[in-house]
Structure 1
Amino acid sequence: MDPFTRRTALRVAAAGTAGLAVTVPGIAGASVAADQARQRAFAAAAAEFGVPEQVLLGVSYLKSRWDYNAGTPSTGAGFGPMHLTDLRAVAAGGSHHDKGSEDPRGDLARATLHPAEPQQAAPAPTLQTVDLAAELTGANPAALRTDPTQNIRGGAAVLAQYQRELGITSDNPADWYGAVARYSGATDSTAAAFFADEVFGTITGGAGRVTDDGQSVRLDAQQVSPARGQLRSLGLPAAARGDVEAPPDVSAEWIPAPYQQTGDGAGDYGNYDKAERPQSQQVTHIVIHDTECSYDAALALVQDPTYLGWHYTLRSSDGHIAQHIQTKDVGWHAGNWYVNAKSIGVEHEGFGAQGTWYTEAMYRTSAKLVRYLADRYGIPLDRRHIIGHDNVPGTIPSTVAGMHWDPGPYWDWGHYFDLLGAPLRSWARQNTGLVMIKPDFATNRPGFTDCDTAGAACTLRGSSAVILHTEPRDDAPLLQDLGLHPDGSPSTMGVSDVGSRASTGQQYAVAEVRGDWTAIWYLGQKGWFRSSAAVPALGQVVTPKPGLATVPVYGRAYPEAEAYPANIPPQDLTPLQYTFAAGQKYVAGPVLPGEYYWATTFDPSTHVVVRGKTEYVQIQFGHRVAYVKADDVVVGRP
């Protein structure tokens, strides 16, 4: 182990925060050869503007982990290591629920729900720190967005200006608490304090890593007791925590979604369904989303009774949490009613098409929230239960193509599970017949298209996605996904096309190995990828029962028709358009009951959970999960 890595590892051990405080270098050997230019840029900017270097490094870490991100915006309209914000540069209207044909409710017993596209609000001043940085430094906004050195200068200048406005002159890091809190962009004291506390926690614990563009940066641990009393000088109101369900050490508030009638009919209401989970149904999954709109726009939408509802929204700049629906109730968010009825939906402020990285502040609070919810509901911390919206299956063949793809291939699942305190490690000591997808996020840079302009190449950047091919070579075609491409054409490298793509933490059964290539079973086909992008995994697989040539694959785990009361129409058990044939294997997820939540009217006293005798096994069938009847398959070792 080289000295830098050893020192960093010691700081990790000393921090003792279950993976929440620091990150060790992520590129093997890079800590030796990495450039020191960014470290020098922080030192120079700190000296130029009179900001303690530890403070500048700590703020940047909580925003970007010191990454450059190729000069592209975060999902919260922030640029560069200091996350200088410029909403004008990434303005977008609507949310991801307005795009495509997905019905967010996903209940075929009710009329299709297609929310109208809302109007995007004007940028808030707190989302235009690029302007202030340009005024203070003389650099033009383009340079502040795309040149990391100028970006760091801009961030230092903004911090120094905030300190001057507080009337404090000091080179002691402890005296910069108020300026750091203001830099968060928070509009309430609770969120501002949370951000500042995380920054000073990082200063106390230390951090070190190699950035996405090969820069070696470190923050040596220093014991600091910040002047938290400065928070009062910002004049920010306290957040109304109210009935929020969240850990006590995060910034969270209760901003309720309305449950009210919107018309004369019993089924005209919004924008979620009352329930009594977990007494009525077990909560088995947490679904990770991004909003495709600003945080403020998302709040306006979720408070509109004609729109739809999810449980939580997280703000990018500081990780602040707003809860809208009690977790006992069922949100309309995942596009699949079975999944909705058994999940909690967590939205993250983001523009998936234009902004493609997520702030460390938001990753941290999201991980704390999800870990809290998982503990509360007994949800395992793995990729079978903590899933993206892009992993939710279509309900029937006609809905597959319209399903959404957020949070997208740039969500760092490996880092997220580190923060959850459940690292995606391989416990297998030898090949097991199963693999867990685990590319190196920083160096794994698929050539996606269509991020900003149709047909145009996306900026190459780190990704959790591994691309699958029909043969063991890089120039082989991608796999077919008959749900997304009914004409049988291959999948594409479009950023939203998940038809030939596996993701970090997902597990698959090995179909074949040739040299340094591995094939996995995927949507009824063999999908090939470089073996270095996966590690052996432990688990069980499902195979068709002897004598069955194929078994149906479903997008929802509904009960048999005989289970429904006379007043509730049975929901069709319609298989998806894929083939699961004898000889194929898929990794087994949880065994789930056949259930349907009948909740088609405003009066919750009429809501009924229909339970049958049929059980299902969730499987990792493609990029999305799917369900097979337990009676159709054998569950066992690979």
Structure 2
Amino acid sequence: MLRRPKILAAMGVVALSVALTGVSLGGPPADAAPPDAAPPSAAAAFREAAAKYGVPEPVLLAVSYAESRWDDHAGAQSTSGGFGPMHLTAPGAASAADLSDKRKVGAADSPRTLYKAAELTGLDPVALRKDTAANINGGAAVLASYQKSLGLPVGADTSPAEWYGAVASYAEAPDKVGAGGFADDVYSIMAKGAARTTNMGQQIVMPALAVTPDKSQIGKLSLPAGVQPSTSDVECPPSLGCEWLPAPYSEFGDGDYGNHDLANRPKTGKIDYIVVHDTEGGWQGVLNLVQDPTYVSWQYTMRSSDGHVWQHVKANDVAWHAGNWYVNMHSIGIEHEGFAAQGATWYTESLYRNSAKLVRYLAVKNNIPLDRAHIIGHDQVPGTIPSTVRGMHWDPGPYWDWEHYMDLIGAPIWGKSVLPVREGSIVSIKPGFEGNVQVLTNCTGAGTTCTPQGTNFVYLRQAPDDNAPLVKDLGLHPDGSDSTTVVSDIGARVAAGSQYVVAERQGDWVAVWYLGAKGWFKSPASAPDAFAKPGLVVKPKAGLKTVPVYGRAYPEQSAYPAGIPYQTVTPLQYSIGEGQAYPVGDLNIETDYYRAVTFAGEPPTDHVQVLGKDKYYQIWFGHRMAYVRAADVDVRPAI
């Protein structure tokens, strides 16, 4: 179903320029138009560039799909400085002035592809960045130049199997493992075929074409071999070529140490979650930080430009990344190069694809369910006690495409119209991404409106009315004020893949239980944002007016042995009211506390898992997850 563009009308009108002029490859041509009426369709641009520069069209299409899924992102640069459907890259380029003066970035010495494309095509760098057809021509010219440099034949009629080396070169990877991984992705895409409507309304179809590429061409590339799976001790799919860059486990004075804890998971606590972070900085600075024993840690870092992966902490050890010790105890953290609030940038397809490979590998290895209750954003991690809720993180932010990401992982977000959306139903949120343009503010400063683009959420209101205020979140706004459109304010957002119980329905409007109250969003039958699904819900036990919720599932006081202080079980400032219901995320939560406060441990009271008998359930609650005591609730199938 082609989804409608969604715009939060009550908070400002965002004009979308959507030209449905594209044609499917291999289909009938578009009606003739006056010469200057409109630019050629993207599909035609791929055909023409392939013929002009002698690149097989399936190769050009598959490379572009692997780089950007054919989106042009309206000329905005990616998190790694790439532009357009071919992701032509320019180091340090941030403005048209930078792009029009090659001397500013030392183009002659630059390995990046935008200026290489300018030299090969004679096109202006600004045009290569902003104009879709020019960008596609630039990418084709670069691919052809790589093919020629390898001494291989060029021509639109050459076999795609003979372009493996050129495709690998296009990755701009630092070694042959990374280059080969990108090329393998491209040929996998080619074999499956693809079809989609781009962010500018251009429909493109790439028929499936299975070929056996000549992988021996990788030997022609002047690149180091890279990390070889047979000699590496990283926990990573072999095709990713991950590197081991250890976070230091060391003392640094005054009895303090960093920057993670030794453990023996799953024996000292099972791994339930993979937490998706963004770095809020460039990858090199982030790698420097994780090697600082006085800083925090995480298990993996991913580079945006090519999805290259470094591992820092073993999965059986506990990294300090989530801001919640209970979640740290039970999770693996992955940092992705990017900036949550930079609406002018986009996470690259290479980043998404390689992250998805890593997450699937880790989930299978550690028996982690592949769903959005367990593959979570940092923004879903709850505060530990009331005072910490407001300071919790909100990355990877509203511009992370959860729907595409979960598709790549092989666990698509539920979006089936099988059950009616009615009171008592569990609904899964799936608003689309490219066409779901929600108004956000303060991306580039107080009072500014963020660059319009796709987002991963819909807002909740206090009444079924476009002009009603957003719902309240007492944790983020303890003064009782309404939630806002500020990019970091997640108080009124239901994100893709999250689940809620329907409290009421009025026409196109659906109310769900959210942070102890009703929150309304519009979900018309013609283009729904929520889909009913089977599942379990928790409700307060009979006679209980309210039920507390928690940010961690710590043991009861009697579970702690002598020498280990009791960790107080403190409820958050929210509660579940009588008659309310919330979806179950996980019934098999481990009630425990991993005691690790000294370097290397002091037996028998340190590096010890304290197990409790007071059972908890993980639930969907507000934008973040939460825990409830099993003794307080009943578990029932949704209606």
Q: 1:251 to 1:125 in 2, by over 3 A?
A: farther
Partner of 2:315: 327
Rounded Cα–Cα distance in structure 1 between residues aligned with 2:619 and 2:86 = 41
Q: CA deviation at 1:30?
A: 10
Does the CA contact (< 8 Å) of 1:617 and 1:628 recur in 2? yes
Partner of 1:14: none
Match of 2:560 among 542, 547, 564: 564
Matches within 5 A, 1:39-50: 39-50=43-54
Partner of 1:103: none
Q: Give me the TM-score of the superposition, normalised by structure 2.
A: 0.86
Matches within 5 A, 1:494-573: 494-531=486-523, 532-573=528-569
Q: CA deviation at 1:529?
A: 0.7
Q: CA deviation at 1:320?
A: 2.5
2:574 maps to a residue whose letter is: Y
Rounded Cα–Cα distance in structure 2 between residues aligned with 1:547 and 1:403 = 33
Q: 1:537 to 1:146 in 2, by over 3 A?
A: same
Q: 1:516 to 1:34 in 2, by over 3 A?
A: farther
Match of 1:317 among 302, 305, 309: 305
Q: Which secondary structure does the structure 2 equivalent of 1:458 belong to?
A: coil
Rounded Cα–Cα distance in structure 2 between residues aligned with 1:245 and 1:409 = 29
Partner of 2:616: 616
Instruction: Indicate the RMSD between aligned Cα atoms, in angstroms.
Output: 2.6
Larger Rg computed on CA atoms: 2
Q: 1:404 to 1:123 in 2, by over 3 A?
A: farther
1:559 maps to a residue whose letter is: P
Q: CA deviation at 1:621?
A: 0.9
**1:631 lines up with 2:631 in the alignment:** yes
Q: CA deviation at 1:253?
A: 2.5
Partner of 2:259: 271
Rounded Cα–Cα distance in structure 2 between residues aligned with 1:594 and 1:409 = 32
Match of 1:391 among 380, 383, 392: 380
Rounded Cα–Cα distance in structure 1 between residues aligned with 2:511 and 2:91 = 43
Matches within 5 A, 1:471-490: 471-490=463-482
Q: 1:617 to 1:87 in 2, by over 3 A?
A: farther
**1:470 lines up with 2:474 in the alignment:** no
Q: Which secondary structure does the structure 1 equivalent of 2:196 belong to?
A: strand
Q: CA deviation at 1:233?
A: 2.2
Q: CA deviation at 1:154?
A: 2.2
**1:597 lines up with 2:594 in the alignment:** yes
Q: 1:577 to 1:34 in 2, by over 3 A?
A: farther
Q: 1:140 to 1:394 in 2, by over 3 A?
A: farther
Instruction: In structure 2, list runs of 5 or more residues that go unmatched.
Output: 3-19, 31-39, 96-105
* Structure 1 residues 337-366: Cα deviation after superposition (integer angstroms, max 9, x where no partner): 100100111122222222543222222222
**1:174 lines up with 2:161 in the alignment:** yes
Q: 1:329 to 1:178 in 2, by over 3 A?
A: same
Rounded Cα–Cα distance in structure 1 between residues aligned with 2:454 and 2:110 = 28
Does the CA contact (< 8 Å) of 2:268 and 2:594 recur in 1? no
Q: CA deviation at 1:74?
A: 2.2
Q: 1:426 to 1:351 in 2, by over 3 A?
A: closer
**1:158 lines up with 2:146 in the alignment:** no
Match of 1:243 among 226, 229, 233: 233
Match of 1:345 among 303, 328, 333: 333
Match of 1:233 among 217, 220, 229: 220
Rounded Cα–Cα distance in structure 1 between residues aligned with 2:366 and 2:141 = 45
Match of 1:435 among 415, 422, 427: 427
Q: 1:474 to 1:50 in 2, by over 3 A?
A: same
Q: CA deviation at 1:518?
A: 0.2
Q: CA deviation at 1:229?
A: 2.1
Does the CA contact (< 8 Å) of 2:269 and 2:590 recur in 1? no
Match of 2:391 among 384, 398, 402: 402
Does the CA contact (< 8 Å) of 1:507 and 1:537 recur in 2? no
1:133 maps to a residue whose letter is: A
Q: Which secondary structure does the structure 1 equivalent of 2:609 belong to?
A: strand
Match of 1:193 among 161, 167, 180: 180
Rounded Cα–Cα distance in structure 1 between residues aligned with 2:407 and 2:108 = 33
Partner of 1:295: 283
Does the CA contact (< 8 Å) of 1:356 and 1:410 recur in 2? no
Rounded Cα–Cα distance in structure 1 between residues aligned with 2:573 and 2:107 = 44
Match of 1:411 among 389, 400, 419: 400
Q: CA deviation at 1:75?
A: 2.7
Q: CA deviation at 1:442?
A: 2.5
Rounded Cα–Cα distance in structure 2 between residues aligned with 1:466 and 1:140 = 39
2:315 maps to a residue whose letter is: T
Q: CA deviation at 1:190?
A: 0.3
Number of positions where the alignment pairs a residue of Structure 1 with one of Structure 2: 581
Q: 1:330 to 1:391 in 2, by over 3 A?
A: same
Partner of 2:199: 212
Partner of 1:137: 121
Q: CA deviation at 1:549?
A: 1.8
Rounded Cα–Cα distance in structure 1 between residues aligned with 2:203 and 2:570 = 53
Partner of 2:73: 69
Rounded Cα–Cα distance in structure 1 between residues aligned with 2:182 and 2:382 = 36
Rounded Cα–Cα distance in structure 2 between residues aligned with 1:124 and 1:598 = 56
Instruction: In structure 1, list runs of 5 or more residues that go unmatched.
Output: 3-26, 92-121
Worse-superposed segment, 246-255 or 181-190? 246-255
Q: CA deviation at 1:123?
A: 12
Q: CA deviation at 1:315?
A: 2.4
Does the CA contact (< 8 Å) of 1:63 and 1:317 recur in 2? no
Q: CA deviation at 1:244?
A: 1.1
Percent identity between matched residues is 56
Q: Which secondary structure does the structure 2 equivalent of 1:56 belong to?
A: helix
**1:38 lines up with 2:42 in the alignment:** yes
Partner of 1:102: none
* Structure 1 residues 476-529: Cα deviation after superposition (integer angstroms, max 9, x where no partner): 111111111222111111222110000111110111100111000111121111
Q: CA deviation at 1:438?
A: 1.1
**1:222 lines up with 2:181 in the alignment:** no
Rounded Cα–Cα distance in structure 2 between residues aligned with 1:521 and 1:34 = 49
Partner of 1:99: none
Q: Give me the TM-score of the superposition, normalised by structure 1.
A: 0.86
* Structure 1 residues 202-229: Cα deviation after superposition (integer angstroms, max 9, x where no partner): 2233222111211111222334332322
1:537 maps to a residue whose letter is: K
Q: 1:183 to 1:279 in 2, by over 3 A?
A: same
Does the CA contact (< 8 Å) of 1:190 and 1:238 recur in 2? yes
* Structure 1 residues 420-446: Cα deviation after superposition (integer angstroms, max 9, x where no partner): 222223565334621111112232111
Q: CA deviation at 1:65?
A: 0.4
Partner of 1:114: none
